[in-house]
Chain A
Amino acid sequence: MNKNQLIAFRYLLIILVTIVYIFPFLWMVSNSFMSDKNIFSVPPKFIPDLLFSDTMFQNYKDVFTKYNFGRYTFNSLWVYSLAAFGQILVCSFAGFALAKMKFRGQGVIFSLLLVTLMIPVQVTIIPEYYLFLRLNWLDTYLPLIIPSFLAGAFGTFMLREFFSQVPSPLFDAGIIDGVNAYQMFRLIYLPQASGPIATLFIIAFMNNWNDLLRPMLYLSDRKLYTVTVALSQFQNQYDVKWNLLLAGSVLSVLPLLTVFAFCQRYIIQNTMSSGIKG
């Protein structure tokens, strides 16, 4: 195959793959324009019945007006942006220290971080609940934000790996210039890390955004609900309002995609080679 054929083949593959990945989301969007009774019909109805009708956006309208979805989206957005930002702060400092500094107990701390990463939330949620009960943080956003400003296992792990691989010439140059630890971190290493930091922001934001168990247990006041809790309200004891649940699910994906689209150009910047040349 010559070069052009290869390129064409590559683009074709990208398009095929995209179709496979986007298909379920399209199904969700399509069904969010259906009335409840037609959603799981057999044989499947592919053309949504509400599309192009007078009540086309009825599901979305209901989700916003009757179920206050706008408020919940706003809640999720600022709580989790704050949490993700906290993660960037704390993980970059900790990751740098673990990667480049020598101190007693760094192995222990790193191992402990890994241990916390391994434990699924269902395991520790009940003791965690009691902890927040004692701290009197229930029915506030504190349990959702404060831990993110203190420790982040995944982020620290990722940034530690990244900082370990920054080529030594940069480090040696810093030593020669006589920088202190904070300057080394801030002026030399941190600028290299825009890619991983943006990645971390996406991941921290996304993991928290989709968390259902914590906001559900810790928040009682309906005004504080996040998007995931709001979505779970579409199920009651006997029935699920699929039309609203799907409309809500579509809406809840949009902020995540926006964050992703915004951050992913930082991931792609080719930072390393420019660092070495200088």
Chain B
Amino acid sequence: MKKKLLAILLVLLVISTLFAAGTKEAAVTDKEIVLDWWTWDPDMVEQNKTIMATFEAENPGVKINNTMVGTAEYWTKIRIQANQNRLPDVFTMSSGYLEEWAKAGLLYNLDGFIEKDDTFDVFYKSIFDTNKATSGTDSYYAIPFALVTTVLYYNKDAFDAAGLAYPTNDWTWDEFKSAARKLTIDTNKDGKIDQWGYWFYGRYAHIEPWVFGNNGYLVDNKTMRFAPDKNAMDAIKMLTDLVLVDKVAPAQRDMTSFKQQDVFPQGVAAMWIDGSWFVDILRKNLGDDMRWGMAKVPTGPNGSKDMTYGWPDSYAIAPNTKNPEMAWKFARYVAGEGIDLDVYMAGKIPSAKKLAEDPLFADPKKQPGTDMNLLIEQAAGPMKNSYTMGWSEWRGYGGSETLGLNGTIDAIVNGHSSFEDAFNKGTKNINSVLTRYYK
């Protein structure tokens, strides 16, 4: 009896390994070009199929294979591909890793294509230049397909209730602080603040907008060391004072039971600065339950009006791709030419002008309505970001959110450390990381 069971089991095992081997690609003819395309957005699987079908129809003899790797494992898997010299022909590349990959020779140099390309002004060139600057090289290595910036979200209902005028794109720090004061309210007088004027913690999307908005910098580009200038420190001090002195924003440790992006939609804070992609999420979760608007991050006393903190997501091409011309054509296609506005999360700015300038981009029927035009202005203007090699380690992001600069600022607002002590310790730690990457 037992032997029979074992035999059945063995047979099952063999059968299972045969059909469980996943779908291998069908045999390819000599003339057919096959491109591998790696993306990381699980929501886009169906739309990707349509996009690929349209491209294949327009380009007979070409087949595209889309591999969608979940966000959490994308970087590990694609690094292993790079290690094996088997990078997909076209793959998603983020601003955070652009420099490391470009300098390691893992991205196809696009200068040749761009020079020869005379229909190139369908894209915003400024976004391409941001990528070039981020890569720390003199060449173009990535085609941006979506730009995100940081914006000020404000609760119109709360502003109305407090009798305040809505933020404008010309707001100063003082106007911001004065509004925050009037918006910090203890509605039922029980000693606990029920609505805060503003909410932030050490997160990159919460701090950098103010630093760059005051024309400051965090990392000195010549020495590649963490050495924030006075403008940057003024901005950070202004922010930490919001918690410690002005008491218009809560400390990070008071908010541990919230998901950070729930604080604003639930009305716990009347203003919030974060990525422009939250337009999509706010629309889905809030609907018309709350009226809200979007404005430019207030400019600091030393800031210039048109500087934006933003960064694109891009597509890159494998350095050893067998079909560079077709890969470039496809990458251009999925970077803007062949796709529709509904592929984009609302609040992400397409790098293709015709999509960004589509009237539905700033659809007046959906919140925040015409405020969205701010994003188009930002896309066309100069941009900065704080990415360097080793960024996730020194900045503190995702799994390392409680460390790095993120942790340093949280320690200040949580009262664990004084401003000077925190920055002394933080600077030393951050520079030990930067020294490893930039000798």
- Chain A positions within 8 Å of B, measured between CB atoms, are 36-37, 40-42, 78, 82, 85, 129-130, 133, 139-142, 145, 149, 186, 216-217, 219-224, 229, 232-240
Contact = CB atoms under 8 A, between A and B. Distances in A.
Nearest to B268: A42
19 contacts: A37-B284, A40-B266, A41-B266, A82-B13, A82-B16, A133-B84, A139-B21, A140-B22, A216-B73, A217-B76, A220-B67, A220-B69, A221-B22, A221-B23, A232-B70, A233-B42, A235-B71, A236-B43, A237-B71
B40 interface: yes
Contacts of B286: 37
B72 A216 contact: yes
Contacts of A82: 12-13, 16
Nearest to A139: B22
Nearest to B21: A140
Given A219-B22, A236-B43, 5 more contacts: A82-B16, A85-B9, A216-B72, A233-B42, A239-B281
Contacts of B285: 36-37
B126 to A, nearest CB: 23
Interface of B: 2, 9, 12-13, 16-17, 20-23, 40-43, 45, 67-73, 76-77, 80, 84, 258-259, 261-262, 265-266, 268, 275, 277-278, 281, 284-287, 289, 345
B266 A223 contact: no
B22 A224 contact: yes
Contacts of B12: 82
Contacts of A133: 80, 84
Contacts of A239: 261, 281
A37 B288 CA distance: 12
A224 B259 contact: no
Contacts of B76: 217
Given A141-B20, A237-B41, A36 B13 contact: no
Nearest to A142: B17
Contacts of A145: 13, 16-17
A172 to B, nearest CB: 25
A222 B68 contact: yes
A118 to B, nearest CB: 23
A161 to B, nearest CB: 24
B72 A235 contact: yes
Nearest to A234: B42
Given A140-B17, A217-B76, A235-B72, A223 B277 contact: no
A55 B21 CA distance: 38
A193 B278 CA distance: 57
Contacts of A238: 275, 277-278, 281, 345
Contact of B77 (A42, A217, A224, A234): A217
Given A139-B22, A217-B73, A229-B70, A237 B40 contact: yes
A40 B67 contact: no
Given A223-B22, A232-B72, A42 B41 contact: no
Contacts of A219: 22
A42 B43 CA distance: 28
Nearest to B282: A37
A65 B335 CA distance: 30
Question: When A and B form their complex, which 8 residue pairs have the shortest distance between CB atoms, in order from nearest?
Answer: A221-B22, A37-B285, A139-B22, A141-B20, A233-B42, A140-B21, A216-B73, A237-B71
A40 B259 contact: yes
A85 B10 CA distance: 12
Contacts of A85: 9
Nearest to B345: A238
B80 A129 contact: yes
A59 to B, nearest CB: 15
